[in-house]
């Protein structure tokens, strides 16, 4: 904040050419993830048909949802890169949490279905046997899928873009489910049959719990939850040191509106200050606030006193 106050710009900001290069790399990460999800899903379908393992089938259903989530995230990224200021005046970033909530709801539903089927198999004690040749094919496919997903996770974690980070989280999730499914299927084939449905239950519970947490986080981001106190303190420091003519800070609000914050600021300037000078102070403060990566939009209100009631009253 001190460096930004002195220089007027965010430290370490990328140039236009660097931003274009970064956007190109982010696109490559998204395309690579989608292509890999398609190829790996086909391979896991084959492994599921050959092994008839519930744990492997649960992992395959997760890959099917990877394709759906990939389409949602790709569509969101594509829409966000083509703004329409007339049709969507404040942008399209709210599409991302809405799409993730829809996807997570489907994930939870399928997770519950896998859980139900696994419990049914445990009760009825119905299971299938796996010969040695099919077991080798299944192990080879599942190990290959897990390695590819692990490498994609490392690659996507290099980027700060929220959508690419979502792909990284999804790849990490796949590494967990694939490993669990493989171990459960192999142990069930060699030792006790009930290990397979038990592994499927663990995958289902992990799937439902993980995506329930994702739903909760995205719902909070859509309903306008306030920023933490330490972040508001940083904004207050930045605002107070923006210009020597700022006499008081009446209000500093920051609240979620999608994946980023909206900020509302009320500052007090001298009553006899010319409008042009007051406007320049407010506009440069808005620009400075919007340079922060967590802030999507900043609104700066200029006043000459601070003893009045708040301009905005929440409707009940």
Residue 250 and residue 266 in contact, taking contact as beta carbons nearer than 8 Å: yes
Q: What are phi and psi of 188, to 5 degrees?
A: -65, -40
pLDDT band at 236 (very low <50, low <70, confident <90, very high): very high
- The secondary structure of residue 158, as a DSSP letter, is T
Structure tokens at 61: 């259903």
Helix (H) or strand (E) holding 268: strand 261-268
Tens-place pLDDT, residues 184-201: 777 776 777 677 777 777
Q: Is the model more confident about 198 or about 47?
A: 198
Q: What is the pLDDT of residue 93?
A: 67
Residue 130 has pLDDT above 60, yes or no: no
Neighbour tally for 71: CB within 10 Å: 14
Angle (CA) 214-196-186 rounded to 5° is 110
Task: Give the domain ranges of the chain.
Answer: 8-222, 229-303
Is the pTM here over 0.85, yes or no?
no
Q: What is the pLDDT of residue 25?
A: 73
Cα–Cα dist 156/165, whole Å: 6
Cα–Cα dist 245/264, whole Å: 19
* Average pLDDT of the residues in 277-306: 89
Q: What are phi and psi of 126, to 5 degrees?
A: -95, 130
Tens-place pLDDT, residues 8-32: 666 655 556 666 666 677 777 777 7
Task: Decide which of 1.10.10.10, 1.10.3720.10, 3.40.50.1400, 1.20.1510.10 is the CATH code for 8-222.
Answer: 1.20.1510.10
Q: Which residues contact 31 (CB under 8 A, 6 or more apart)?
A: none
Cα–Cα dist 145/39, whole Å: 9
* Average pLDDT of the residues in 135-147: 75
**At the topology level of CATH, where does 229-303 sit?**
Alpha-Beta Plaits (3.30.70)
């Amino acid at each position: 904040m001190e460096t930004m106050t002195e220089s007027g710009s965010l430290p370490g900001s990328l140039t236009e050419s660097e931003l274009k290069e970064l956007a190109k790399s982010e696109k490559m990460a998204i395309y690579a993830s989608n292509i890999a999800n398609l190829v790996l899903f086909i391979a896991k379908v084959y492994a599921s048909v050959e092994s008839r393992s519930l744990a492997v089938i649960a992992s395959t259903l997760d890959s099917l949802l990877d394709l759906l989530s990939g389409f949602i995230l790709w569509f969101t990224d594509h829409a966000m890169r083509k703004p329409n200021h007339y049709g969507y005046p404040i942008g399209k970033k709210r599409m991302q949490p809405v799409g993730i909530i829809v996807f997570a709801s489907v994930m939870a539903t399928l997770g519950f279905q896998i859980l139900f089927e696994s419990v049914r198999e445990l009760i009825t004690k119905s299971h299938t046997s796996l010969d040695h040749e099919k077991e080798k094919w299944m192990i080879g496919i599942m190990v290959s899928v897990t390695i590819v997903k692990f490498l994609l996770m490392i690659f996507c974690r290099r980027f700060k873009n929220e959508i690419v980070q979502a792909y990284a989280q999804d790849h990490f999730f796949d590494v967990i489910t694939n490993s669990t499914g493989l171990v459960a299927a192999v142990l069930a084939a060699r030792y006790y049959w009930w290990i397979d449905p038990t592994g499927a239950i663990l995958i289902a519970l992990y799937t439902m719990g993980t995506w329930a947490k994702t739903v909760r986080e995205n719902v909070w981001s859509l309903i306008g939850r306030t920023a933490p106190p330490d972040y508001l303190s940083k904004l207050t420091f930045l605002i107070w040191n923006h210009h020597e003519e700022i006499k008081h800070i009446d209000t500093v609000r920051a609240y979620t509106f999608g994946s980023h914050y909206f900020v509302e600021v009320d500052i007090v300037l001298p009553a006899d200050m010319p409008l042009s000078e007051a406007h320049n102070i407010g506009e440069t403060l808005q620009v400075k606030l919007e340079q922060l990566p967590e802030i999507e939009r900043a609104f700066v209100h200029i006043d000459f006193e601070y003893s009045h009631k708040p301009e905005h009253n929440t409707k009940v």
